[in-house]
Chains A and B, each alone.
Chain A
């Protein structure tokens, strides 16, 4: 499962249950729908842990943060899947905003590259 455009890409590796995010995502609200579908498909496979590799995601707007927030919120309600986020402190939005996801899912784990 993957979505690749000129500006960004999102790829799911089944073997490691890792979603790798790359590029610049500043889509207009509803344009995030296909990404939400991909995330929901991954959730439906019920791996014990999902890893988000965000180290290549240079920009994300608040609509994108909302999309991620809703996914995290969904996992929290489900309670059976652990989430690990790998981020980079060199990327401004991650350093600033990634902590908020823990408010939605206190067991969420972070790893800084």
Chain B
């Protein structure tokens, strides 16, 4: 089953330049891995800049380059922080981050497993995000955070993408079978073959369903 919210192109056009990162799901504690979010976001932004050969003598193009780099690094870091926070520790779904470059915009996509108990809450926040004036929601989120010290701040991250970076956001919620998730980890021919046999003999009852959520952010350039 697939559910779409906001501006989420289910099958985006092929881009000429892309970069795909796939991270193992957590086995090390989140605290230890936290620095890798910023590291990965900065790498993505730095990688992207290669495709914008700016004139070193032209302050305007240098400024534009720095702005784009800052925006991509901020957004990618927020997406990864959320994905790492919410990706359930019980699943073996890898976390994916993808950057796709087009002539006048770029797309950042992150996908992760979302534990079933968090789905309703997240979808209701998405609804709020898409149907509330950003200014009002900004103040509301700060007030909420002020009242609840334990509140995770994912709301403000997504809100700033829309409000401060003029990004378009969309989400895809997809139910997949656990074993399909296993196969997402690309294997060689032989293990793919063995997996297939294993999946044929495994009984229906052993197949657990998982929800994978993809967040898609479109940014004009």
A binding-site residues for B, Cβ under 8 Å? 24, 26-30, 59, 61-63, 65-66, 69-70, 73-74, 90-93, 95-97, 100, 103-104
Contact = CB atoms under 8 A, between A and B. Distances in A.
A27 B165 CA distance: 21
The main secondary structure of chain A at its interface with chain B is helix
Interface of B: 30-31, 34, 37-38, 66-67, 69-71, 73-74, 77-78, 81, 85, 135, 138-139, 141-143, 145-146, 150, 152-154, 156-157, 160, 163-165
B112 to A, nearest CB: 16
Nearest to B69: A92
B30 A92 contact: no
Most buried by A among B67, B71, B153: B153
Contacts of A65: 156, 160
Contact of A28 (B81, B145, B150): B81
B67 A26 contact: no
Nearest to B155: A62
A73 B146 contact: yes
Nearest to A24: B38
Contacts of A63: 81, 153, 156-157
Contact of A26 (B77, B145, B160, B165): B77
Contact of B165 (A24, A30, A90, A96): A96
A92 B145 contact: no
A62 B69 contact: no
Given A59-B73, A62-B78, A73-B143, 7 more contacts: A28-B31, A30-B150, A62-B154, A63-B156, A66-B153, A66-B156, A103-B135
A103 B138 contact: yes
A28 B85 CA distance: 9
Contacts of A103: 135, 138-139
Contacts of B85: 28
Most buried by B among A29, A62, A74, A100: A62
Nearest to B68: A92
Nearest to A33: B149
B146 A96 contact: no
B77 A61 contact: yes
Contacts of B154: 62
10 contacts: A26-B34, A26-B77, A27-B34, A28-B30, A61-B78, A66-B142, A92-B66, A92-B67, A92-B74, A104-B139
